[in-house]
Structure 1
Amino acid sequence: MRAEAPLLEVHDLSVSFRSRGRYIPIVEKVSFSVGSREILGIVGESGSGKSVTAMAIMGLIDAPDVKITGSARFRGQELVGLPQKAFRHLRGRDIAMIFQDPMTAFTPVYTIGWQIDEQIRAHEALSKTGARARTVQLLGDMGVPDPERTANRYPHQLSGGLRQRAMIAMALSCNPVMLIADEPTTALDVTVQAQILDLLRNLRHNYGSSVLLITHDMGVVAETCDNVMVLYSGRVAERGPGEAIFAQPAHPYTAALLDSIPPLTGPRPARLPSIAGSPPAPLERPSGCAFAPRCHYAHESCVMLPPLISYGSQDVACVLPVEGRPLPPRVVADVA
């Protein structure tokens, strides 16, 4: 039986911004795929290129001083270089985005219901009454109390959790086959965060959607994602099945991110380990491994840019596995 083709297939995607007469690479040769009903987590610190990657795929970076190269094929259709008119037919209907801050993503002068109604009517031949009925139903499906009343409220009148639910309802309004969720739990308390993650996990069962989840929180990834891609300074550090990466990370950066999660079993450390320093600015990236200045395992081989190689079920951009010096084993229960 022939394997099902990926829903989204990204190959060598690069995004560069023009500054001081030259193009500065922000995202470099990022490759990954998302299958049907799959949840892929893209994780990394702020500035690693997660949101830029998503916005390039969605065609939301449309400026003369930006250069996007590589390939991003959605259902076989090339998105890189696609005209904005064609993108408008795809966005919302086939592929939708849950933005990081719904307070700024929603227009403040229109009600929540009006904005969701508008998207539905832009893509489907529904009357105002029909669109409003679907809006109210979607808000109710997302767990919004009294959805009819909430639809008539403005964004500033809702709590952060309700705004995020309304944003997810808007993204689902035309039954897209793929959702890109950019830090959907940022600035939410832990109870609301858990509710939003439950919603994302249920999307593939209730709506048949695939999800590209962007976050800096490895705990969120552990709870939610099938596969994981770790970005560092605009490049892929590691990617592979979530179980394998959490059980035995192959890249020191991945291991350091996992060590920052409080253990659920055993003694709790007085202080969690932290990664010294900060990611390099795009203009200050070293010629070799960008993580080397912060890495406990760095040595002379790290002055060369490591290629992305296969290591078990994972792909990793590090010289340690090549040299036969993998990272020490992890205790799986500490990160479960």
Structure 2
Amino acid sequence: MHADVPLLEVQNLCISFRSHGRNVPIVENVSFSVNMQEILAIVGESGSGKSVTATAIMGLIDTRDVKITGSAKFRGQELIGLPQKAFRQLRGRHIAMVFQDPMTAFTPVYTIGWQIDEQIRAHERVSKSEARARTVQMLGNMGVPDPERTANRYPHQLSGGLRQRAMIAMALSCNPALLIADEPTTALDVTVQAQILDLIRNLRHDYGSSVLLITHDMGVVAETCDQVMVMYSGRVAEFGPGDAIFAQPAHPYTAALLDSIPPLTGPRPTRLPSIAGSPPSPSERPAGCAFAPRCNYSHKSCETVPPLVTYGQQSVACVLPVEGRALPSRAVTKDLA
């Protein structure tokens, strides 16, 4: 594969679910790409469409009540509409996923080692002993203590951090080119979270993998990612290099997310800033900019859906010009009453 060709290229992805006799759009016109050995973060509040975007790419939305349009190409192969038989050849071997809750992602009645062995043998012609040796090695590579003993344990016998390491070991067992990590640090303590992030950060060097990281934590993004895509209510709000977005966020929603991070230096705030209100339900999304009801900058032009416009290194879906405007130094606290 040519180095200049994206590993994953998504164009105008739209996902809607049938509800009460009508199609409710969940994801609208989402476009992004992931290059070789690149870490891309998809950031946003719960309900912004992050996980459903990933599950659509993986072919894991299996219901008649969903409509998926647009394009998602992995190494030039179209994934949207791909038969499940073809998906089974890709999943695990070329594209792998670390799910948000490893306790429910693992089958509780089989040992950790058996489940990793099974994936290896499903995609490669190796003996049971060879698969088990690779399983133990992968667990060890992920920092699991006494990996041979851990391989013979059931999921409920491991701590949350060890289960997450085992899930990453399973995802990497066939050396996939793309790893999708859906909230991999949720419910983990700070120390274990830092260890998991170190593992993810080193994947591109140790295994040559690209990573699509789904999270709501901007602190995680700052430590880990090359590119950042901010989603709000199923649409892309901002996209660009992580350094540029953290230095000068172009969308008011991005600025509000960054302002909600506790400062590491300077005076300690008596109260952390927050974004007033809540994201709209997909069935009750405003006709124009979905963030307008929570934004200090909203005005008449926000009644239409803003296009994604490029300013320098960043693309932003906001009608306000970036030049000459100062985003708020604290998160939006507009009274919605």
Aligned mates of 1:297, 1:71 — CA distance in 2 = 33
Q: Report Cα offsets for 1:96-117 as digits up to 9, x if no partner.
A: 0000000000000000000000
Q: TM (normalized to structure 2)?
A: 0.96
Structure 2 equivalent of residue 318 of structure 1: 318
Alpha-carbon distance between aligned partners in 2 of 1:314 and 1:12, rounded to the nearest angstrom: 18
- Aligned residue pair count: 329
- Contact 1:308–1:317 under 8 Å retained in 2: yes
Q: What corresponds to 1:308 in structure 2? A: 308
* SS state at 1:191 partner: helix
Matched residue SS, 1:321: coil
1:164 maps to 2:164: yes
| Structure 2 residue matching 1:320: 3-state secondary structure | coil
**Contact 1:41–1:214 (8 Å) recurs in 2:** yes
Contact map agreement 2:3 2:36 (CA 8 A) in 1: no
| Alignment pair present for 1:114 and 2:98 | no
Aligned ranges for residues 101-250 of structure 1 at < 5 Å? 101-250=101-250
Counterpart Cα distance in 2 of 1:327 and 1:210: 35
- More off after superposition, 2-11 vs 31-40: 2-11
CA distance in structure 2 between the aligned counterparts of 1:23 and 1:219, rounded to whole angstroms? 35
1:17-56 matches, cutoff 5 A: 17-56=17-56
Q: Residue type of the partner of 1:320?
A: L
Cα separation, 2, equivalents of 1:117 and 1:128: 7
Q: Distance in 1 between matches of 2:287 and 2:266?
A: 41
Shift of 1:326: 3.1
**CA shift digits 1:42-89 (9 cap, x unpaired):** 000000000000000000002111100000000000000000000000
Change (3 A) 1:71 1:61: same
Aligned pairs (5 A) from 1:264-283: 264-283=264-283
Q: Distance in 1 between matches of 2:16 and 2:324?
A: 34
Contact 1:252 1:327 in 2 (8 A): no
The whole-number CA distance in structure 2 between the counterparts of 1:330 and 1:80 is 41
Gaps of 5+ in 1: 332-336
The alpha carbon displacement at 1:330 in A equals: 6.6
Tell me the secondary structure at the aligned position of residue 133 of structure 1.
Answer: helix
Per the alignment, residue 68 of structure 1 pairs with: 68
Name stretches of at least 5 consecutive residues in structure 2 with no aligned partner.
Answer: 331-337
Match of 1:27, SS state, is strand
Q: Is the 8 A contact 1:249 1:327 kept in 2?
A: no
Q: Deviations over 1:245-287 (max 9, x none)?
A: 0000000000000001111121121111100110000111000
Asked whether the 8 Å contact 1:248–1:330 carries over to 2, the reply is: no
User: Given the two structures, how large is their TM-score scaled by the length of structure 1?
Assistant: 0.96
Tell me, what secondary structure is at the counterpart of 1:109? coil
Tell me the secondary structure at the aligned position of residue 221 of structure 1.
helix
1:334 is matched with: none
Distance 1:328 1:69 in 2: 35
SS of the aligned residue for 1:243 comes to: helix
- Structure 1 residue aligned with 2:81: 81
SS of 1:240 mapped into structure 2: strand
Code of the aligned partner of 1:179:
L
CA distance in 2 between counterparts of 1:60 and 1:3 reads 28
Asked whether the equivalents of residues 27 and 235 of structure 2 are also in contact (C-alpha less than 8 Å), the reply is yes
Code of the aligned partner of 2:72? A
CA distance in 1, matches of 2:249, 2:137: 42
Answer yes or no: is the 8 Å Cα contact 2:259–2:329 preserved in 1. Answer: no
- Distance between the aligned counterparts of 1:228 and 1:85, measured in 2? 32
Equivalent residue, structure 2, for 1:298? 298
Q: Give deviations 1:283-310, integer Å, cap 9, x for gaps.
A: 1100000000001111111111111101
- The offset of 1:328, in angstroms, is 3.4
- Counterparts of 2:51 and 2:324 in 1: how far apart (Å)? 33
Q: Is the 8 A contact 1:236 1:317 kept in 2?
A: yes
The share of aligned pairs that are identical, in percent, is 82
Q: 120-129 or 2-11, which moves further after superposition?
A: 2-11
Q: Secondary structure at the match of 2:307?
A: coil
- Counterpart of 2:57? 57
Query: In structure 2, do the counterparts of structure 1 residues 329 and 298 end up closer, same or farther at CA, with 3 Å as the change threshold?
Result: closer
**Counterpart position of 1:13:** 13
